[in-house]
Amino acid sequence: MSNLLNPDAIFSNNEMSLSDIEIYGFDYDYTLVFYSKHLHTLIFNAARDLLINEHRPAVDAGREIGGDMDIVLEGIRKYEYDPNFAIRGLHYDVQRAILMKIDAFHYIQMGTVYRGLSVVPDEEVIDMYEGSHVPLEQMSDFYGKSSHGNTMKQFMDIFSLPEMTLLSCVNEHFLKNNIDYEPVHLYKDVKDSIRDVHIKGIMYRAIEADIEKYICYAEQTRAVLAKLADHGKKMFLITNSPSSFVDKGMRYIVGKDWRDLFDVVIVQAEKPNFFNDKRRPFRKVNEKGVLLWDKIHKLQKGQIYKQGNLYEFLKLTGWRGSKVLYFGDHIYSDLADLTLKHGWRTGAIIPELRSELRIMNTEQYIQTMTWLQTLTGLLEQMQVHRDAESQLVLQEWKKERKEMREMTKSFFNAQFGSLFRTDQNPTYFLRRLSRFADIYMASLSCLLNYDVHHTFYPRRTPLQHELPAWSDSPSAFKAPLLQEAQAK
C-alpha cells in the first residue's frame, strides 16, 4: 500500500522533454472543458426522441406483428440512460447487433459480449466467431470505422457512450418483443440520431441555455493556460465545435479574455478531415459569427477561423515537428495523424484514468490482484503434476482464478471491466493509446504538477523474456499477506 498510484500524474509512452515544446495545441470538448453527468443523459434522450419521431425504426416490423406502430415506438421511450452500462473502446458487430470488448491481440473477452442488455453465453460467442478471435479484416480501421463492409465499429469517443447505450436499449426492446428487424438499418438510424443531436444544434443550445448544469467549472483550466503563457509558450485551439458555443464555454471556465491567451483559434475544423484534406481554405468568423470572404494570408491572434486544413495551417504558422504538443481526448481523430504524418508530440486526455487509478489504490483491489498473480504462478509451476489428486487441485485453482478475474472486472464496470485491461492483456483501446499518444493523463490540470522543463521518461517495462522465472521470486508467495506485513 506504500506505492500507491497518483491519479494526478502524467504517464509516458515515449520519452519527451517539455523543454523542447514551444507550441501547445488543444482540442475543446473533454480537453479544455469537461462536462457533467447530465450531458450524456441529454444526448441519449434527444437521440432517442429523434429516433422515434424522425427515423421511426422497424416500421415494417410493427406492421408485420400487427401491432400499433405508436405503441411499438413508445416502448423505446421507456428506456433511460444508464451511465454505468458501457465504457469507451468497445467494438460493435453491426450485422449481429452485438457489443463487445476486444483485447490488443483481437481476442474477445468472454463475459463482455452483450446482445441488447443481456450477456451472450460464452458457448454462443465461440460458435458465432468460430472461437474468440476476430480477424483483422473485420476489425475497425484507422478511424474506428469498419474496413470490411459494415462488420465492426469501434467506439473511441467519450460522446459515444450514449450511442452504445441507445443501441443496446433499442436492440433489447426489439428482442424482448420478438420484433424482426435488420441490425444494419438500426445501427445506421441510431448513428444518424446521435449525429443529429450535434448537427441540429440540440446539444449546443441546451448547454448554452444552462451552462452551469452541463459544464464542470474548473479554475485549473485557466491556471494551466496562464502558466504556459507566462513562460512564453504559443497556444492554439482546434475544435469541431461551433464558434458561439466555444466562446460561451471558454468565457465560463477561463474568462472574457480567453482569446488573448491563444495565438490561433479554429472552430468547426471537421477533424480528422482537417488533418488530411488539403482542399478546404480557412474562413474568418467576425464577432457576430458571420463568415467572411476574405482571403486568409495570416492567422491572426484574437481572430476566430473556421474549417481550413493542417497543411495550410503549417504554411501560415510554420509550427512543425516535435516542438508542437497537441492535446485531445479522441485517439484517432485528434492524435493519430499528428504523430504518424506530421511528427507532432501528442498528449491524450483520458478522464476515466483518475477513477480507475483510485480503484487500483484500494486495499481490496491490491489484495485481489496480488492473490490472482500468485494463483496464476501456482498454476504455471504446478501443472507438471499429472496425478488425479493434483489435477483436482489444479481445476479448483482454475475455477478460483476465473471467479477472481470476474471480481476484478466488476471493480471497474460490471459489464465490461477496465478501459485498459481485458483480464491479463491490454485492451485494443490501450494498444492505440500507446501507439498514438506520447503522454496521457486524466486532465490538463495534471500539467500543473510539472515544471515546463520536465522530461517524461517511460518506465522500462520488462519484456516477457526479460522477466525472472516466477519460481525464482520467493517473495511472490508472501505477497498476499499484506495485513500481516502491515502488522509487522
Write the burial class of residue 33 (CB in 10 Å: 0-12 exposed, 13-18 middle, 19+ buried): buried
- Contact (CB, 8 A) for 457 and 16: no
DSSP string computed for 102-167: BBTTSBB-TT--EETTEEPPHHHHHHHHTSSB--GGGSB-TTSSBSSTTSEEE--STTHHHHHHHH
Residue 308 backbone phi and psi in degrees, to 5: 80, -170
- Contact (CB, 8 A) for 305 and 284: yes
Tell me: is residue 387 an annotated ligand-binding position: no
Q: Minimal CA–CA distance to 19: which of 456, 455, 483, 465?
A: 455
- Contact (CB, 8 A) for 58 and 72: yes
Q: Minimal CA–CA distance to 215: which of 223, 203, 224?
A: 203
Tell me: is residue 329 an annotated ligand-binding position: yes
For residue 379 the three cell numbers come to: 498454476
3-state secondary structure of 307: strand
**Distance in angstroms (rounded) separating the CA atoms of residues 305 and 269:** 9
Q: Residue 93: in which H helix or E strand, if any?
A: strand 91-93
CB atoms within 10 A of CB 107: 18
- Contact (CB, 8 A) for 303 and 284: yes
Tell me: is residue 451 an annotated ligand-binding position: no
- Contact (CB, 8 A) for 310 and 279: no
3-state secondary structure of 215: strand
Strands 421-422 and 345-349: unpaired
DSSP string computed for 409-460: HHHH-TTT--SSEETTEEBHHHHHHHHH-SEEES-GGGGGGS-TT-EE----
Q: Minimal CA–CA distance to 51: which of 142, 185, 159?
A: 185
**Distance in angstroms (rounded) separating the CA atoms of residues 286 and 327:** 26
Please confirm, yes or no, whether 27 is among the known catalytic residues.
yes
| Given the residues 8, 29, 68, 472, the one annotated as active site | 29
**Distance in angstroms (rounded) separating the CA atoms of residues 381 and 466:** 18
Please confirm, yes or no, whether 93 is among the known catalytic residues.
no
**Distance in angstroms (rounded) separating the CA atoms of residues 52 and 75:** 10
| Given the residues 27, 93, 157, 438, the one annotated as active site | 27
- Contact (CB, 8 A) for 268 and 274: no
For residue 196 the three cell numbers come to: 443529429
Cite the annotated binding site for GMP by residue number.
29
Active site residue ranges: 27, 29
Cite the annotated binding site by residue number.
27, 29, 329
Cite the annotated binding site for Mg(2+) by residue number.
27, 329
